[in-house]
Structure 1
Amino acid sequence: MHVWDTLLDRSVIAGYSRLGYALRAAGRSDDDPRPGALAGRTVAVTGATSGIGAAIAEGVAALGAHVIVVGRDGERAQRVAAGLVERFPDARVSVELGDVSDAEQVRDLAARLDRRDVDALVHNAGVMPPERTDSADGHELSLATHVLGPIALTELLLPALRRSPDARVVFMSSGGMYTAPLPVDDLDYRDGQYRGARAYARSKRIQTALVPLLADRWAAAGVMVAGMHPGWVDTPGVSGSLPRFATLAGPLLRGPAEGADTAVWLLGTEPAPPTGGFWHDRRRRPEHYLRRTRFSEAERRAVGERIARIVDDEYR
């Protein structure tokens, strides 16, 4: 199975599509998380008001977790929460609002989540602005949303995660990150012609590159850290930001639940997966496929040090 699974992955179109998911699910040994695997645990999911985030919230609710729906839009967040309670009448569902691209809001959100004794975080909030946009703190919006805010939020929640007997953190990346080199000297995308899809891929590349460093950094708190990508998924974000791709690839796109599957598995499978890995369809995947986008360990650490300084200086 390993050989054909690898071939699917290298083919991209087959591996990332709904076909790839169906083939892997059919050939997979029975490794679904057991019923009630997350009972008594609290899972916060950012960007949970639609698409993959809402599907992750539903998946962990089905496993018995106390779900915290985190989003920017209160009406949409409450609508997702109400839907979860309707589907799972015994579920405990909460809503917390906050924009993870904004340092002040991250600090406030962390203070509220800390009081809820969070056991796990899924960093799923995502943006793809068509034009270069700065966050409230002056950083390129994709970088702030996908890298700075999630890392800062986790850092601020380390006391709560340390109290958990099985703390887990999952970063939702993108297969598009394979196409982008690590922007060691231009984290905020100030050089060259700005393209939203490119900014998205660059920030996800940074995120993925930092997962092993974050796993080491948070090991003392007992946190399992994983990155993953969901394949090609039919979500409002994709149709809104990449309408041509959504139209052309429409029949091949996965549903949100299929895109959410690996995140839910990473949270619910027992024992916890090895920390520091990058995953797709419940298998650990390489960080690199293209020679032109490979980076060195020195470059990884240089980016990690710069991101850590920004987080320490601006988010504390």
Structure 2
Amino acid sequence: MHNRLDTLLDRTVLLGYGKPGLLLRRTSWEPLAPDALRGRTALITGANSGIGKAMAAGMAELGAEVTLVVRDTERGAAAAADITADTPGATVRVARCDISDLTDVRRFAHELLDHTDRVDILVHNAGVLPRTRAESPQGHEICLATHVLGPLLATELLAPALERSGAGRVILVSSGGMYSQPLPVQDIEYRTGDYHGATAYARTKRIQVALTPKLAERYAAQHISVHSMHPGWVDTPGVATSLPRFRRLTGPLLRTPAEGADTALWLAATEVPPGHFWHDRRIRPEHYLPRTRTSETDREYVWQYCTNAAGFESS
């Protein structure tokens, strides 16, 4: 009965992605052990505020050594100070990287590997929702560069450190908004038609989810598990700035950043099958609408395009 109600809430979207779904589901969850991540290292992109900061705080509280990977190191330092004030004794570092800039991703990864032996958890949380079409320094549409290309390259470059963990975990923070969009096979860079930031965001979140099984397969032999998840509807500074009307309409239903971060913390601390899309600690379907379904051929085409654009061999 509980699973049927869970599924029903998920299909309604409004209730499942907001607080009501969380309140129902967490009644059956086992709490994470207080030291579930003791001795582990975690890198979290986009951790200055919102869900990323909440993930960093949660992992630090569970005992992990956390690095906030951010573009603005002053804001990163302020976030780190907040986290250590709440969790005295926590180890929280700040590292600079613009995940949308592939050159900067390479610099960051090489510098990290020079002084870090092992990475246990890598969370790709950094996100953008632009008003107009913009491009990365390498000429890629900015949502694609931030949500897909940068994370692909960072994962590839950091794979040796993740492998040394013995049980490395990579978590892609996607969005339930991806359900509205098919895989953009014909226009991956969003060069045609009227550009809408929310559509670009949803398209690239769809790509993240579509490529999760490919990533899981690629790194399985290195004992690196790859997962994607969506946090539900969360009241963050990004939502307030980019989607003010949505926030006004759904305000009472929105989750806190800590509530949105829960599934990522759970994935970091729990052995689960890789290659799936998760929400509220449960595997969710990749598609709800028939028009969004795509073939394995299309998935392979997008994988080849994105790995080539990111600058590494796909196989």
Instruction: Place the TM-score, normalised by the shorter chain, in its bin.
Output: over 0.9
Q: Which aligned pairs between 1:80-159 and structure 2 lie closer than 5 A?
A: 80-114=79-113, 115-116=115-116, 117-159=118-160
Alignment RMSD: 1.1
Q: Partners of 2:34 and 2:233 in 1: how far apart?
A: 28
Q: Partners of 1:90 and 1:29 in 2: how far apart?
A: 28
Q: Which aligned pairs between 1:177-216 and structure 2 lie closer than 5 A?
A: 177-216=178-217
Alpha-carbon shift at residue 34 of structure 1 (Å) = 1.4
Structure 2: 5+ residue stretches without partners: none
Identity %: 56
TM-score by length of 2: 0.96
Counterpart AA for 1:81: A
Counterpart AA for 2:77: Q
Alpha-carbon shift at residue 51 of structure 1 (Å) = 0.1
Aligned to 1:65: 64
Q: Partners of 1:160 and 1:149 in 2: how far apart?
A: 17
User: Could you tell which deviates more after superposition, 80-89 or 233-242?
Assistant: 80-89
Alpha-carbon shift at residue 312 of structure 1 (Å) = 2.4
Aligned to 2:242: 241
TM-score by length of 1: 0.96
User: Could you tell which deviates more after superposition, 148-157 or 87-96?
Assistant: 87-96
Give the conservation status (yes or no) of the 8 Å contact 2:153–2:312. Answer: no
Aligned to 1:38: 37
Q: Partners of 2:255 and 2:83 in 1: how far apart?
A: 21
Counterpart AA for 1:263: A
Q: Partners of 1:51 and 1:98 in 2: how far apart?
A: 18
Give the conservation status (yes or no) of the 8 Å contact 2:50–2:237. Answer: yes
Q: Deviations over 1:101-148 (max 9, x none)?
A: 001110111123323221110000000010000011100000000000
Counterpart AA for 2:90: A
Aligned to 1:78: 77
Counterpart AA for 1:124: N
Aligned to 1:273: 272
Give the conservation status (yes or no) of the 8 Å contact 2:166–2:224. Answer: no
Aligned to 1:48: 47
Q: Partners of 1:29 and 1:106 in 2: how far apart?
A: 36
Alpha-carbon shift at residue 43 of structure 1 (Å) = 0.2
Q: Deviations over 1:54-88 (max 9, x none)?
A: 00001100110000011111111001111111111
Aligned pairs, number: 310
Q: Partners of 2:146 and 2:86 in 1: how far apart?
A: 30
Alpha-carbon shift at residue 158 of structure 1 (Å) = 0.8
Q: Partners of 2:236 and 2:84 in 1: how far apart?
A: 22
Aligned to 2:286: 287
Q: Partners of 1:157 and 1:67 in 2: how far apart?
A: 16
Q: Partners of 1:212 and 1:231 in 2: how far apart?
A: 21
Give the conservation status (yes or no) of the 8 Å contact 2:52–2:261. Answer: yes
**Residue aligned with 2:149, SS:** helix
User: Could you tell which deviates more after superposition, 203-212 or 104-113?
Assistant: 104-113
**4+ residue segments displaced more than 3 Å:** none
Give the conservation status (yes or no) of the 8 Å contact 2:70–2:98. Answer: yes
**Residue aligned with 1:218, SS:** helix
**Residue aligned with 2:123, SS:** strand
Alpha-carbon shift at residue 189 of structure 1 (Å) = 0.3
Q: Partners of 1:239 and 1:146 in 2: how far apart?
A: 20
Structure 1 position 297 matched with structure 2 position 301 = no
Counterpart AA for 1:175: G
Structure 1: 5+ residue stretches without partners: none
Q: Partners of 1:4 and 1:12 in 2: how far apart?
A: 13
Alpha-carbon shift at residue 166 of structure 1 (Å) = 1.5
Alpha-carbon shift at residue 185 of structure 1 (Å) = 1.9
Q: Partners of 1:275 and 1:253 in 2: how far apart?
A: 28
Q: Partners of 1:312 and 1:98 in 2: how far apart?
A: 17
